[in-house]
Amino acid sequence: MILPPVLVNTDRPMSYEPPTPPAELPSDIVDTLNGYSPDQLQHVARYAEAVAEHKERQDRLDEESDEDEIEERPDDLPDDVPAKATITIKEINDNRYYYWQWREGDTVTSKYKGPVNPDE
């Protein structure tokens, strides 16, 4: 007679002592779990794993949506200047001027905005 193989979980050594709960787990949850049957604990474990995956996925989606948010266009931004443009100051012949500046591929494009107020 040939017996089927027996699978043994070798990740954790078998012990007659109850497992030590993680320090991050509140004691009221530990107390509640200790009162559950093995079958209930298996259901809790599957549910907790599903909730953790859901929350991690939601966090990733929230981060992606934050990155994808379109910044508001400044009121004085000309129509032909993209919203990603920044304002830079250039000094020409001892005079200072504001320019809109943005990158288009490998080139940096500038557009005149106006003179810098000398009081600034």
Q: Which residues of the chain have pLDDT under 70?
A: 1-14, 64-74, 119-120
User: What pLDDT does residue 32 have?
Assistant: 94
Both tokens of 8, joined, read: 């043994």
Contacts of 73 (CB under 8 A, 6+ apart): 83
User: What pLDDT does residue 66 have?
Assistant: 60
User: What pLDDT does residue 26 have?
Assistant: 93
